[in-house]
Structure 1
Amino acid sequence: MPNGPRTATSAVPASPGRRGAGVRPSVGYGAGFWFVAFAFTVLMGFGTAPAALWPLYAAQDGFGATTITVVSAMVAVGAAIGFLGLGHLSDRYGRRRVVLAALTVTLIAALLMTWWQGLVGLLIGRFLNGVGIGLMASTATAYLHDLYARAHEETSRAGLPEVVATGANLGGLALGPLIAGAVVLWTRQPLTVTQFGFAVVLAVCLLLALVTPETVEVSHTARCRPARFALRPGALGLYVSAVGLAFCSYALFGLVTALGAVMLRTEFRVSSAFVAGLAPFLMFSASALAELALAPLSPRRLLTVGTAAFPLGLALVALSVYEARLWLFLAATAVAGAGGGVLFKVCIDRSVRAAAPASRAGVLAVTFVAGYAGLGLPIVVFSVLAHHLGTPVTMICFAAALTGVVAVSSLGRRSPRRASRHPPP
């Protein structure tokens, strides 16, 4: 979900005269930049689109809340494998090849979920979707930086790739459930139409990626170099705090995308798929807007804002569930999403500061694995507890637990001793 790690340590830039092996690209770096941004947006949108569809799957196949949470958690499992085992491969084999692999895997997932809508098909499809996210998030972020730098070698706005990467990532996450909710209103077979529609758009993205120029010329040495995971001396506390912030941010995202529609139906008596998609849309939109609007602030001030907005939003979500007030639930998810997005930005900053310069990509990949663990594990526990304690009480416990972890994680040192005197380049 928020921006994946930028992979760039072992790869070297491609020479101007060479644009990568395979299919010869037919567009320039500037057009390729927007092609990759579009593909990134679509792939992330596909990942959250089922948030508005879970009640329909439940009605069709008799799924309960626990089954839905397990299916949702498969994305986290696939993403963890993608980030840890595959996310660094663009440094070795080129950005375009890994983007093509990510889109191909996700296209297969979309087709599988179109024609096999039973439990096994959903489990496999969501797992493949997670693998695609693990491949795409880090690679696309690095690819956007590379393409923009090549398209604007003389006059460039250094911050634009970060802005576009954030917009593509969180914008896609926000649009996915909203689009799926709209499809439910307009078609009689929303499950098939949504999945096949994304499959068609993913196929278009695959064609666009094929004609996008490569930005990395891979040497034999880079191919054989193993990924390294190393922290700066004295940075363990800083990195542990970053992992805690990642876990909490993604726990919120996972709760709303996996169980938001279920809570709307059971606690608010709202069965509209559009409203079910509206909640995660507001959450991810607020997260993206908060990250972009507050980007000029220092990490310390960002942490202050995040540690205030995140618990406040969680408390309001718990109150809205307890009082069964829909408008408060939607507003609360936006507040909590903004706080979660800001905290995740702080998490990325702390991870970069804690990482040894040559291990930045590997350290960030582990950070994202912790985040996706937060995306999958807490919602399973939430579902089990809600079955015994009820959703309102469980939501209060969930909010209190995440607030406690955020409070402890925010106490981590801002930078290791050595990094404070010699900031990372």
Structure 2
Amino acid sequence: MNQPHPSEHYPVIIVGGGQAGLSMSYQLQKRDIRHIVFEKNRIGHSWRADRWDSFCLVTPNWQCRLPDFPYQGDDPKGFMLKDEIVEYIEAFARKVDAPIKQGVAVTRVRRGKQDRLEIRTSDGDYTADHVVVATGGYDIPIVPDYAHSLPQRIAQVHSMHYRNPGQLPPGEVLVVGSGQSGVQIMEDLHLAGRKVHLAVGSAPRSPRLYRGRETTEWLYDLGFYDLTVDRHPLGDEARHKTNHYLTGRNGGHEIDLRRFALEGVKLYGSMAGIQGARLEFKPDLRKNLDEADEVYARIRADIDKYIAANRIGAPEEAPFRKVWEPESEPLSVDADEAGITAIVWAIGFRPDYRWIELPVFDGRGHPQFRRGVTDAPGLYFVGLPWLNTWGSGRFLGIAEDTEYLAATIAERSASQRAAA
């Protein structure tokens, strides 16, 4: 950062121009706080470039509530497709009209002179009193080290790079991971007539419709989306849990992996390793299916209690029952013998915050904060799951989170001016 001329200074610099960064800009503009937004790609990039062709929201459109910019369409109970999500983000960007520089990557943030934060970018060096990190936590696609031992004749692709069934070579496909991406890609392949194998992980599942109403509407009324992380039984550990799986495809429906097994999808336990063409699995298929169903049944029970307590007229539903049980749990399969020609890795991402040289991370590289405010003066995070509530990290909770951070920055800025 040694330059012959001084760095340009801003009271606030926002890193990331997605829905969280744009929302932060909007809240700062309302308070007349000068700032700039750096976006390394272009607005809407991750929705446009990092999702498969049939991708759609899992949460209904009515939950799209960016600051003063609710869902604009005529299908609030539907689920926006990928291109519609991009259009929604771009329309919000036009409303915000943020002071944004697209195509500018931030490569370093550190403490500098006079306690200011120094920011190195591909566009030059800057300083700021406050830096808001709005890059999300989906930086590096996770692929296990043992994937390198797979023969090259078997194609591998991460969910981030999966687009459609025709992208994969002819033959059967193994999808690894049963989070939201994994089960939706499994269904995408299954509906296309591909023979699918699925390594089932520990993700929970949720009903889509229950007792005459969309489940997220019930959960909203129950206050689930207002549950704060400090009141969650798991505390901060809730931030690392996998989301419930279901889908918004074709109007939305739940995903019961047992039913897919009846339709020919081959289920295994969690992926354990690869030895050449031999794929190895843990003996936890039955356990993972049962635990996912327990969460599913618990959500239904919570709704039942709410309906009874409030004397709501709602149609009754039959109790949940398992439609399929694994007769055995295969611990390995030979990919060549099974005809598996491709693997889709859907086991998530990990964040990459190596460019932030401030002591705010735990041993796993995750930032530590309270409502997005870190212990490093002037550094904030926004747009992450469970930043404060279950709604954080979704379109539903961004307005509240960014409003809180903007108010915090405004208060701290006023205190700094008074002290000066």
TM-score by length of 2: 0.27
